[in-house]
Amino acid sequence: MKKYQILTALTFFLISNFVFGQVINPPDNNLFDSRTVHRIDVTIPADTMAWLLEPQNLYKDEYKRANFTFTDGNSGAKTIINDVGFRLRGNTSRQADKKSFKIQFDEYVAGQELGGADEINLKGSHNDPALLREALSYHVMDKMQIPAARTAHVELYINGDYRGLYVNVEHYDKRFLESRFGNKDGNLYKCYYGADLESGNNAYDDGLFELKTNKTENIRTKLEDLIDVLNFSPLGTFREDIMAILNVDGLMRYLAVEAIVGHWDGYSYNKNNYYLYFNSGTQKFEFIPYDPDNTFGIDWVGRDWANRNIYSFFRTGEDRPLVTRLLNIREFHIMYTEYVNQLVTTYFNDAYLFPKIDSLKTLIRPYVVSDTYYSLDYGFSMSDFDNSFTQALGGHVDYGLKPYISTRNSSASNQIDQVALFSEVYSQPDYLKIINDGNEVFVFGHQKIANKEFMLFNTAGQLVYEGYLKTYPQRINLKSGIYLISIPEIQVSNKLIMP
């Protein structure tokens, strides 16, 4: 209660309207237009298609030559691309009756692409009766400024046979890296089940960390360094060591979303489904989420994800140093708490998500009606589709979409560490935060003003603090009083009253 009273007693005089809106992911282009359903036609010899579906070939990542047609859901315009690579994709989904597919436009003809992509993933979403969970998860990640795939729904035809409604998911490759980070020459790793980053992980094990770029060089010393820091850096230097090699702010954003959407098949619980990219611009690793389809109440391991504690979402009893060691640092605990609070108050609540869900349901329902593959794996019917938005279906569908959102919002709101949340004494959205956590004061800024010079002056005009803003909290020493905040490069000055 004392912390909250401190907050309400503060007065701030903003004399600048300068704010920043960080854009991590590019806007949706036509290929990933979630407001319509495009049509994709694949034409492939019947015997070749039969070969792809033979049980002994399901896990062969061998492309077969096919022709491709993209029909714009808005204009009806057709784009024809011949000689593309076509194969199955996924892991357990390869055993499903509603298969998922990958299309490589430049597999046989160099330079072929569609909408700036040389590869797309068509996911059947056979586990999800609403066919929306993965798209919604990525949407929330995008709103939280996490580098993540764009998505859109498409209707898929193979040799004229309607194979059903699919989710077109953006591929993680050099184009993705360039668009998100402004560079593409660093190492990109796809991390598989078992990649918990504990000391036993071998950085050169492609079964854990599959190198997707710079394969010829195959130099993984930075990944080895990350594993070493996470497991062997002493407590006294761990904070500085991990910030020197990892984008901690980006990770905290992701961990907050992971816990809120219930992405148990990601890093924290199942040590699975993520990418790591060594950003050559910052010389730090970036965490990139992957495959968040088992979310929003889909469960295969017997857990209530809507009520699981946000501070122990990870699997207890197993090493998860990327979570456990970082959240034990008070600054990172505060940062994580801030992002959870941002989620439940802005992007993960009934008021924000329900209208979006209703709009998407109206958009895709006619395509589900005609999807004969929709019912093959779990017997889903159109009644199940309609009911899945408001109620549990049993089996692996523990929650309807909307009840999960309401329940998770309530449980997370009640679990939030109020001391961490109400330690904030100054905040301007997308700009600057100063937090007072009991005996210490921390300052951090938005990504867009990272590395900008930051100064504090007392009322006599004397400089009392000077440094450079980072996206993570930095300790500063301030006595009670009134201070002038100055960031000269962007011509911002504000008054701060410290209790």
Residue 12, domain CATH: 2.60.40
Dist. CA 39–CA 70, nearest whole Å: 6
**Range of weakest confidence among 64-68, 171-175, 273-277, 464-468:** 464-468
**Residue ranges in 110-173 assigned as alpha helix (H):** 133-143
How large is the average pLDDT for residues 173-179?
Answer: 96
Cβ within 8 Å of residue 48, ≥6 positions away: 64, 65, 66
What confidence score (pLDDT) does residue 490 get?
61
- Residue 491 inside a domain? The answer is yes
> Residue 425: its pLDDT value, please?
46
* In a domain? residue 16: yes
Span of 21-25, 34-38, 252-256, 375-379 with lowest mean pLDDT: 21-25
How many alpha carbons fall within 13 Å on the CB side of residue 27? 2
Q: Is 112 a residue whose pLDDT tops 90?
A: yes
The answer, yes or no, to whether residue 426 has pLDDT greater than 50, is no
Over residues 164-186, mean pLDDT? 97
Q: Evaluate whether residue 124 is within a structural domain.
A: yes
Domain shared by 17 and 34, yes or no: no
134 and 159 housed in the same domain: yes
Residue 353 lies inside a defined structural domain of this protein: no
The pLDDT of 453-468, averaged and rounded, is 79
Question: Which phi and psi (to 5°) does residue 458 adopt?
Answer: -85, 180
Quick one: average pLDDT of 94-123? 96
User: Quick check: 211 pLDDT over 80?
Assistant: yes
Judgement on whether residues 8 and 105 belong to the same structural domain of the protein: no
State the Cα–Cα distance between residues 378 and 280, nearest whole angstrom.
Answer: 45
pTM: 0.84
The last residue of one of the domains, among 170, 197, 219, is 170
- CA contacts within 13 A on the Cβ side of 446: 18
Say yes or no: 92 and 121 in one domain: yes
Q: How far apart are CA 320 and CA 336, in angstroms?
A: 16
Between residues 201 and 457, which one has the greater pLDDT? 201
Residue 164 lies in a domain: yes
Same domain, 18 and 143: no
Q: Check if the beta carbon of residue 100 is closer than 8 Å to that of residue 262.
A: no
18/131 same-domain check: no
Cα distances (angstroms) measured from residue 44 to each of 57, 83, 438: 16, 10, 66
Whether 15 and 52 share a structural domain: no
Q: Whole-angstrom Cα distance, residue 133 to residue 15?
A: 43
- Provide the pLDDT for residue 482: 63
Sheet holding 474-476, edge to edge: 424-428, 432-437, 440-445, 474-476
Is the pLDDT at 481 greater than 70? The verdict is no
Let me know if residue 79 belongs to a domain: yes
**Average pLDDT for the chain:** 88
Host domain of residue 96: 30-170
Task: Give the mean pLDDT of 223-231.
Answer: 98
One domain for residues 163 and 48? yes
CA dist list (Å): 108 to 119, 122, 205, 333: 12, 19, 29, 49
Tell me whether residue 191 is in a domain.
no
Asked if residue 85 is part of any domain, the answer here is yes
Specify whether 109 is located in the same domain as 51.
yes
Q: How many domains does the chain divide into?
A: 2
Q: Using DSSP, state whether 268 is helix, strand or coil.
A: helix
Please check whether residues 153 and 35 belong to one and the same domain. Answer: yes
Sign of CA dihedral 56, 58, 61, 67: positive
Identify the domain boundary among 154, 170, 186.
170
Domain closes at, from 138, 170, 202: 170
**What is the 8-class DSSP label of residue 228?**
H
**Pick from 421, 482, 483: which is nearest to 4 by CA?**
421
pLDDT given at position 472: 66
> Which burial class, exposed, middle or buried, applies to 215 when counting CB atoms under 10 A from its CB (0-12, 13-18, 19+)?
exposed
Lowest-pLDDT choice from 136-145, 333-342, 419-428: 419-428
